[in-house]
Chains A and B, each alone.
Chain A
Amino acid sequence: MTTATVAGPATPLIKPHVSLGEGLSQTLTLAWRTIVQVRHNPWELGDYSIQPIMFVLLFTYVFGGAIAGSTGDYLTFALPGIIVMNMLFVTMYVGTGLNTDLTKGVFDRLRSLPIARWAPLAGRIIADQVKQAWSILLLLVVGMILGFRIGTNLAGLLAAVALLLTFALAFSWVSVLVGVLAKDPEKVQLFGFTALFPVTFVSNVFVRTDTMPGWLQAWVKLNPVTHLADAARGLMIGGPAANSVVWSLVWAAAIVVVFAPLSLYALKRRV
């Protein structure tokens, strides 16, 4: 064992702060790390690949005929909504990953390094955008194999994807808060199921709002999932979209205003 290489402390060049460029590069490095984690844990990839495909198949072929009279019509109606629903579930991985880092001590290691304070969180969220893009693409491809067709044009499709990614970015703050407050990563997943399932199902993702009782319609019409699903349908298959796009963005902004400060406060208290 040669001592010089292990030990010999360098006399470091001490910098007074992290530059924005360094911070961005650290964010990308940490996002890379999250993607490498998926490579080592293919089950996670299965979670946001196989599960949404199951939903598409289940709703199209089991319920589609009964709900819309034809599986083809139903797929056109439901696929944009299923993409929205899946997007919300995928944001939970931000919280699960953050919680794992907090409970295992990885977060402290990162905080003891001379890196930008925001890089660990930003890295997670950027990585989540990659996962989001992957599952949107996957669902579109599967949908098209089953007969889904874009009724607008490429610009409409890209606008829909951009809207979904923007909303995912905003909704990540909810996931961050859950990730910080939860005792362990399983609790984050549990929240995903118990809170997100009702929110996503009690919307117009699977059935039209006018088929529901009046008291439920009031909530469904308010639900951001409904607005997002409407916006995605409008942008992908045609029809009015502007109104629901605006409401989706308003919801996204409101979520950031409420949850970003709460999350950062909770994180500061926990570490």
Chain B
Amino acid sequence: MTHAIWAEGLVKRFGETTALAGVDLAVRTGTVLGLLGPNGAGKTTAARVLATLLQPDAGHATVGGYDVVRQAHQVRQLIGMTGQYASVDETLTGAENLLLIGRLLGMPRAQAKARGRELLAQFDLTDAAGRAAKTYSGGMRRRLDLAASLVGRPPMLYLDEPTTGLDPRARAELWELIRVMVAGGVTVLLTTQYLDEADELADEIVVIDHGRVIATGTPDELKAKAGAQTLAVRPADASHVAVVVDVVSELARGEPEVKGQLVTVPVADPAVLPGVVRRLDDAGVVLAELALRSSSLNEVFLSLTGRPAEDTETNGEPEGSVA
């Protein structure tokens, strides 16, 4: 088994904040690793270390066998990066952005132009090629970002929250493009705060929180562990809450959470639903609400860590200014 990206014990501090507190990662060649966590968990910091943009305070990492600190120049020849922290120049047109990168990668002008045209066509941006990137819609911007990271045909691609802020349609389109690239053999490191995105794209998921890896596994393993879905039951009569808690904790896995009259519990297998209904019916409980829905990241976190995911904006990813 070969690892395209491999990291051990990565530590990164920004002053008082510890963004990475010893992160281990391994991405097999040709697969997608989803780095899942809330804002400020350290995902972007990890991606930036692996992209040679930040130096770790401790630990080490290799990309394609090259050390990210000592052989940064070699690593940069292997990676393409896209996301919130590596953007296109919005004053240039789409075509100019791709031409710029092609030229910087050492392509002759004609070849860089041809490569740009090819990518613009693939990403459905030909009509917008001559317009400044700042006039693009969110979805077009992300597609251009992605195209820009692919100019040099890198064998490894880092996607940093590629669909944050996109509408569902643009999101699905981008997912499709990513799948096509993966089918072509690209190794992908995907950071995301959406469980469904990791589930859609990743072969393996690493859940990260407060700079630490708190769970690793395939999407299925993780869902089995954390409960892919959440069962929500609200009895019509408040006095029945205790009965509901008894029934669901017996049939579903994990500790039910009670909020007012609403009882929620993560479930691994949706087949528990009929059993729950039958048992509650037998007990004479009248239900006001009964729902089975996909777990949110927050619920996965709750079942993995026993506490909700904190949305700590300030932790880990500083906005860069020293002024």
Q: Which of A's residues lie within 8 Å of B, judged by CB? A: 1-12, 14-18, 22, 25-26, 29-30, 33, 36-37, 40-41, 101-106, 108-115, 119, 180-183, 187, 266, 269-271
In Å, the complex CA distance between A79 and B262 comes to 79
Pick the most buried of B76, B77, B91, B323: most chain A CB atoms within 10 A of its CB: B91
Residues of B within 8 A of A102 (CB): 320
CA distance A3 to B85 in the complex (A): 27
Select from chain B the residue with minimum beta-carbon distance to A182.
Answer: B323
By a CB distance below 8 angstroms, the chain B residues around A181 are 322-323
Give A117 Cβ to nearest chain B Cβ, in Å.
Answer: 9
Q: Which residue of B lies closest to A184 (CB)?
A: B321
Contacts A/B (CB < 8 Å), 5 sampled = A6-B180, A9-B156, A36-B96, A106-B88, A114-B73
Task: Report the separation of the CA atoms of residues A16 and B123 in the bound assembly, to the nearest whole angstrom.
Answer: 32
CA distance A105 to B319 in the complex (A): 11
Q: Tell me whether B78 is interfacial, beta carbon within 8 Å.
A: yes
The 6 closest A-B pairs by CB, nearest first: A7-B184, A105-B87, A9-B155, A114-B76, A109-B86, A10-B153
Assess whether A37 is in contact with B91, with CB atoms less than 8 Å apart: yes
* Beta-carbon nearest neighbor of A269 in chain B: B322
Once A and B bind, how many residue pairs between them come within 8 Å at the CB atom? Answer: 135
**Judging by beta carbons under 8 Å apart, are A33 and B92 in contact?**
yes
Chain A residue with the shortest CB-CB distance to B122: A6
- Compute how far the CA of A101 lies from the CA of B85 in the bound complex, rounded to whole angstroms: 11
B139-167 interface (Cβ within 8 A of A): 148, 150, 152-156
Binds A, one of B99-107, B243-251, B302-310: B99-107
How far, in angstroms, from A271 to B53 measured CA to CA in the complex? 8
Bitwise, B73-98 to A at CB < 8 A (1) or not (0) is 11011110100111111111100100
Report how far A37 CA is from B123 CA in the complex, Å: 24
Q: Are B184 and A3 in contact (CB under 8 A)?
A: yes
Instruction: State A4–B122 Cα separation when bound (angstroms).
Output: 11
Which residue of chain B lies nearest to A119 when distances are taken between CB atoms in the complex? B104
> Which residue of chain A lies nearest to B75 when distances are taken between CB atoms in the complex?
A114
Q: Which size class do B's interface residues fall under?
A: 35 or more
Contact A17 B81 (CB under 8 A): no
The answer, yes or no, to whether B181 is at the interface (CB within 8 Å) is yes
Q: How far is the CB of B231 from chain A (nearest CB, A)?
A: 40
In the complex, A37→B96 CA distance in Å? 10
Q: Is A112 within 8 A of B53, CB to CB?
A: yes
8 A Cβ contacts from B91-145 to A: 91-93, 96, 100-101, 103-106, 118-119, 122-123, 132
A82 vs chain B, min Cβ distance (A): 29
The residues of A that contact B322 with a CB separation of less than 8 Å are 180-181, 266, 269-270
Q: Does B183 sit within 8 A of A, measured CB to CB?
A: yes
* Residues of the B chain whose Cβ atoms lie less than 8 Å from the Cβ of A8: 153, 184-185
Q: Are A106 and B323 in contact (CB under 8 A)?
A: no
The answer to whether A14 and B74 touch across the interface, beta carbons within 8 angstroms, is yes
**Which B278-323 residues have a C-beta within 8 angstroms of A?**
320-323
* Residue B52 at the chain A interface, CB threshold 8 Å: yes
